[in-house]
Structure 1
């Protein structure tokens, strides 16, 4: 009895092309996006639970700062690649006219920038 041929698997199949590498990197950044959400939930819990001083002591640790800087970069990469993929996933038609990809991407990035500026305004303004 013969078994079917199974070619050997290459663990780094994605590294052969730039497109696949970016795809895998984007998927891996989801872990750091999840960490960012957990960190923000910890912040909210500390604010509501009265343990904000303990939270700030933990957040001031060098390893935590390094982790959050890496998470910030990964989250920004994840957001940019997600917004750039939107025209491929969504076809927008206005009165039979297909909206070009650059307009969808521009709208997405403009909305992201506007929300970021608005959030930064409320966070940075002095009380």
Structure 2
């Protein structure tokens, strides 16, 4: 008599479909979103604790610039895919009329661009 049937596991199941691959990639970008939050908290702690020069020295390291560049791209991808999924999670009805997905996406992307432009203006303006 043989042992119990153990099905073969396919560890790369998500590579068989573009949709699944994008889903897994989006979930993996959460790690870089968490890094961006941790990095921001480290910067705030350095500002509050007086160790800002040490933080700037760390931030100037080439490997740190590379990590933050990847984190920026991953966070942008994460935000973009999040905004594109909003119409599937949110059904908006006005007087019985369902708002089309492109309007919800357009509103989300427009709001994102507006907030980004305002933040860029505040951060980049000359003192």
Interval of TM-score (by shorter of Structure 1 and Structure 2): over 0.9
Per the alignment, do residues 3 and 87 of structure 1 end up closer, same or farther by CA in structure 2, a change over 3 Å counting?
A: farther
Q: CA deviation at 1:32?
A: 0.4
Instruction: Tell me the residue number matched to 1:52.
Output: 52
Q: How much has 1:87 moved relative to structure 2?
A: 0.4
Deviations 1:31-61 (A, max 9, x none): 0000000000011111111111110000000
Aligned to 2:16: 16
For structure 1, the 5+ residue unaligned runs are: none
Deviations 1:83-126 (A, max 9, x none): 00000011111111000000000000000000000000000001
Indicate the residue corresponding to 1:121 in structure 2: 121
TM-score (norm 1): 0.96
* Structure 2: runs of 5 or more not aligned: none
- In the alignment, structure 1 residue 62 sits paired with structure 2 residue 46: no
Q: 1:91 to 1:51 in 2, by over 3 A?
A: same
Cα deviation, residue 7, structure 1: 2.0
Distance in 2, Cα, partners of 1:42 & 1:35? 10
Give the RMSD, CA atoms, in angstroms: 1.2
In structure 1, C-alpha distance between the alignment counterparts of 2:82 and 2:3, rounded to whole Å: 42
Total equivalences in the alignment: 127
